[in-house]
Amino acid sequence: MDYIYHYHSPLGRITLAGDNDKNALTGLWFDGQKYFGSTLTGDFTQKKLPVFEQTIQWLNIYFSGKKPDFTPPLLMKTTNFRKMVWEILLTIPFGQTMTYGQIANKIAKQKEISKMSAQAIGGAVGHNAISLIIPCHRVIGINGSLTGYAGGIDKKIWLLAMEKADF
């Protein structure tokens, strides 16, 4: 069974999803965003799990404009390829950005292939089920353009500005 909990952020309500047995966060979405609830099964209930308490602490620190010094336990319910991409997203420091092309190059090296499509990377980034903590908002176009964000470009701009990112 999946569990959910709601958090009220400066950018609107966020829904958290978690796995109680594994004490891990499985989803974090702005309500109404593209691919909302993608990791949820049809069977879920609202309950405040310990992982939600950790996530709320992380979100409170984050929305105060500071870099949290911990990451709640995460369970990435996704394909191996998307997991590879999301793990790279976790390495993008607070206040910094990375391009789709840079991520594509990292994946190509990991897979020991000559090149990887930035478009494929975009699809994996766009389907990130644990927004903010896996910082897909820090991914930008090659020329610094703020292309795509499942939560909405307005939220991406706000988040990058709050982090004082150079974009």
Token pair listed for 39: 């990791």
Residues 51, 75, 98, 136: which is the catalytic one?
A: 136
- SS3 state of residue 30: strand
Phi-psi region of 12 (alpha: psi -120 to 50; beta: other; left: phi over 0): left
- Let me know if 117 is a catalytic residue: no
List % helix, strand, coil for the chain (3-state, nearest 5): 35, 20, 45
Q: Mark out the alpha helices in 32-112 (DSSP H runs).
A: 50-63, 80-89, 100-111
Q: Which amino acid is at 163?
A: E
Q: Write out the catalytic residue numbers.
A: 136
